[in-house]
Structure 1
């Protein structure tokens, strides 16, 4: 599938943003970190900024962005529509939680209720986003048991890295949060490796023989292309990446998205003050570069079954 920049930014920014909203909402509710007004407002504001950036970016992939609102009407059948509604709904408790912190330095019960609601709405939105891809039966690399868990794992991991860095920058660094970020990274790495192994060793059940219905005659091969120029299907669904390039990019993802940030989070456990803040910030920057490559691969390695009609032997 064609790895459009707008969709890469959408999945990257919203994933990190909703992950940060989950941690911020839960920690506002249960006060696992110093429940100070500045910390709550900065983390909430950063999360909502990332979410908004991602949602705006997603509209750029539409042929008519001004008609994006119409997608919200198809919630009964479309995960894209459900994701849009869930994203809008998440703004409500998150904004109210921010207002509660503005009004009072100790919102009390309001922080508990709104924090839990914010985290739950963020969880639902991440699930809907993952299902946009996991629901497509024609794309084997998306329609499997790893996509939804990996979306959650990566969102929580990136959100934890951001949360840890913001705490350090605000002078409230917490070893617990650093440790949670490192642990979340290990879980996300395990899920990503399992996903890569799955798509490398399996393929879609459809074949050129089953797609054309000519399997009873024998092997089916493309005799002549249906047209002489590249069309929309070939541009959007026929994107391919060489195996050797994919392997190099996977190694880059392991290093930039997982290896370096996890190590840096462990180092931050031994540091304090400005040094820990610098280390945490470098971890976020490294993970940011890594997640962009990981998202690019997620789309570039996906194969649509329609390409079986254009000479592909498997999808």
Structure 2
């Protein structure tokens, strides 16, 4: 699949934003995070800012962005539409939670309830995003048991690393939060390796023979049905060299997982003010690494429509 940057940034930014929002809603709601004005303003601003930036970016790959609102009408059958509805609905409790925290200086009572509702909405929205890809049967690399959990794991991972950096910056961080973000990063690393291993052993049952119903021998295309690449080949038939994919996997493991783990371990050991700097650096490096991971996620996917063109 052609990895459009608008979609790459959308899935990365909203994943981190919703992960951060969910953790803020739960931890602040139970009193694990102080109801500090600046902490609430910056934390909620970052979470909602990432979500809004990602959602706006997602319209960049539409031919007619002004018609994006029509996607909301197909929520009964479309995961894309359900994602849109869930994302907008989540802004309501998230906005109330943010106002209660920042304007009223409290995270208890009804504010805690809105925080928990925002966390539920964040999880639901990330799940619908994952299901957009997991439900696509023509793309075997996505239509697997690994896709939906990956979206949830990576969202929690990036959100926890961001939250740890914020708490460390306000000198209210804890060893438990560093350990939690470190654990999620290790889980995400393991899940990514398992996904690559699964896709590497994947045998796609559909071939040119099964598509045409011709048994015996090998069916192959003698000539293309047209003289140059069309939309399907550009978008669905995008290919990346194996050596480039291997190099990108190394970059992903380094930026999204290995370096953040090293920085978080060091932050766990060193005191303030070293811990905030290392935690912030871990968040930035991991975000860049996840951008590369999302790009490769799209680039390595193979649509069965390419069988029509002999690929």
- The normalised TM-score by structure 2 is 0.97
1:1-315 superposed matches below 5 A: 1-214=1-214, 216-312=215-311
* 1:42 shift after superposition: 1.8
* Counterparts of 1:294 and 1:129, CA distance in 2: 16
Q: Secondary structure at the match of 2:220?
A: coil
**Separation in 1, partners of 2:216, 2:296:** 37
RMSD: 1.1
Matched residue count = 311
Which piece of structure 1 moves more, 144-153 or 41-50? 41-50
Structure 1 position 190, deviation (Å): 1.0
Deviations 1:174-193 (A, max 9, x none): 21111110000011111111
- Provide structure 1 residue ranges, at least 5 long, that are not aligned to the other structure: none
CA deviations on 1:32-91 (whole Å, 9 max, x unpaired) are 233423323321111000000000000011000000000000001110000000000110
In 2, Cα distance between equivalents of 1:6 and 1:104: 36
What TM-score results when the alignment is normalised by the length of structure 1?
Answer: 0.96
1:222 Cα deviation after fit: 1.5
- Give the Cα separation in 2 of the matches to 1:211 and 1:242: 26
Offset at 1:126?
A: 0.2
- CA-to-partner distance for each residue in 1:179-224, whole Å, 9 max, x for gaps? 110000011111111110011111322111111221x242111211
Quote the offset at 1:152 in angstroms: 0.6
Q: Distance in 2 between matches of 1:45 and 1:203?
A: 45
Greater CA drift, 17-26 or 165-174:
165-174
Q: Is the 8 A contact 1:134 1:142 kept in 2?
A: yes
Distance in 2 between residues matched to 1:224 and 1:102, nearest whole Å: 65
Structure 1 stretch 133-142 or stretch 107-116: which is displaced more?
Answer: 107-116
Give runs of ≥4 in structure 1 deviating > 6 Å. none
Contact kept? 2:40, 2:102, Cα under 8 Å: no
